[in-house]
Amino acid sequence: LAQVSPALRRTARWHFHASKIYDGLDQPALAVAEIESALSLDPAPEEYHVQLGQIFLTRNTPAAAYDVFSEALKQFPHSLLLL
């Protein structure tokens, strides 16, 4: 991740992928920080909300996951991924 150009690191998509990487490396705090950065830059993609909720689900924090998914369902009421 350190080898990626600084300009690319400022995109929501980069933060999303960095979150996936950190999640896979079992570094949930960094994964959450990255996906929250992605959401602050671009809250529109459904997969960003799913990523945040799934980090919480896989780390035994169902209440936080419920909050994320509940809020996301308001934005994506017909989502099959969030149900």
pLDDT of residue 8: 67
Token couple for 73: 């369902």
- Phi, psi angles (nearest 5°) of residue 19: -60, -45
Neighbours of 63 (CB within 10 A): 8
Q: How many CB atoms lie within 10 A of CB 1?
A: 11
Quick: pLDDT tens for 54-81: 999 999 999 999 999 999 999 999 999 9
**Model pLDDT, residue 83:** 83
Which segments of 11-61 does DSSP mark as H helices, in order?
12-24, 28-41, 46-58
Residue 52: burial class (beta carbons within 10 Å; 0-12, 13-18, 19+):
buried
* pTM tops 0.85, yes or no: yes
